[in-house]
A and B are shown apart, each in its own frame.
Chain A
């Protein structure tokens, strides 16, 4: 089984460590983590070409095609992001903006997705709601999402252990 995790965090912090813990806890799964900050992924220009003329007409030539290819090859996708000002981070928001054409032409009907947020306060439910909604719009079968309320890496390990049953159930 192949699972790809898209991480919208601007650094290798808590969100990354949670994903890393999932990877360690499920050694038999081919698990890959993609950090959006490391990719060459520019901000959407809002030119509407992808919707009107086709996604290959996008004026920005970057790693988007690679991301689509990886998502199509995988059996499941995890969308993960920290909570920044009541919503997903700007990297994750840009990810959804660049795949705006998928909201009009959904294609991932045979795949599962899970949303994951990490935060230490207010606003996680809004971010989760938004990511679940977008995954549904893209055509994914959405499994129950995971919200972790953590502050340090040490706690994340405990949290994953605590939520292990839930995570197993989701896979």
Chain B
């Protein structure tokens, strides 16, 4: 156990000082501190940073630099360095804010490679009176895609206008038990319980990456040290190609699809793992530098 525990909060609200969501997060973290956990807490307010919406150019998956230059790099660095990630957003029209959505869209490649595998996480949602369930489930899904282990979500209603949060004390009282549980889990060095959404996302992700691996192997031949593609799948794919009249040119394009992610999965020998636990147990290869790869490709 390290002496100081780093917590980074990504705050989706356009406000910073007046934000009710920030107030809820800070109350919770203070309660965790009172339980005896030594921690550093930093709030990154996306409203005060410059994060532009994604242009959809797909450069990042083809290992080319991102055309947009803004504050995303430093936010990424802080997310890689932290021990616990908190995603916090108010509810705007039944979902997260547009600022938060722009941030997620820019981290497009991160959805396929489990960049923050094994970190703790938590989601926080405040709302006036409705929509917190949908928003919380979306944030949980994003936390699971990034490979983090979530303690669950804290939600609070009654956060009406910026700075007007009459439910604040009530929510703090309600969340005290949760803060105690989180702090004791971290102090004991344990992980929170596995969630169903993590299993579901692992299944989807593995299907996706092995599919592209198969197409790549069909076009360029099998690679040494990598698992051979499933013969049943190869047969099905060939049938599918014939049915849709896919040309060789299109197949070449398809094989190069998600190049960054495929290289990541191959270099970490993840393609033959059968569960999230197996994936976590695999050691990181010596010549594989996680943070430099995550930061440098765009």
Contacts and interface: CB of A to CB of B under 8 A. Distances in A.
A130 B96 CA distance: 12
12 contacts: A10-B53, A10-B56, A43-B102, A46-B97, A47-B162, A84-B105, A85-B142, A85-B145, A87-B104, A100-B92, A126-B138, A133-B94
B15 A46 contact: yes
B102 A90 contact: yes
B99 interface: yes
Main SS class of interface, B: mixed
A89 interface: yes
A46 B95 contact: no
Interface residues of B, number: 37
A89 B92 contact: no
B274 to A, nearest CB: 20
B292 interface: no
Given A90-B101, A90-B102, A121-B208, 14 more contacts: A9-B56, A43-B98, A43-B99, A46-B15, A48-B162, A86-B138, A87-B101, A88-B101, A89-B56, A93-B96, A93-B101, A94-B102, A96-B92, A134-B93
B56 A82 contact: yes
Given A84-B108, A85-B111, A90 B54 contact: yes
Interface of A: 9-11, 13, 43-48, 52, 82, 84-91, 93-94, 96-97, 99-100, 103, 121-122, 126, 130, 133-134, 137, 151-152, 155
Contacts of B161: 48, 52
A85 B105 contact: yes
Given A48-B161, A48-B162, A90 B56 contact: no
B275 interface: no
Which residue of B90, B94, B96, B98 has the most chain A CB atoms within 10 A of its CB atom?
B98
B289 interface: no
A46 B111 contact: no
A13 B90 contact: no
Interface of B: 13-15, 47, 53-57, 90, 92-99, 101-102, 104-105, 107-108, 111, 134, 138, 141-142, 145, 161-162, 204, 208, 244, 250, 254
A14 to B, nearest CB: 10
A11 B105 contact: no
Given A86-B138, A90-B101, A90-B105, A100 B93 contact: yes
Contacts of B142: 85-86
A10 B141 CA distance: 24
Contacts of A47: 162
Contacts of A94: 53, 98, 101-102
B53 A44 contact: no
Contacts of A155: 244
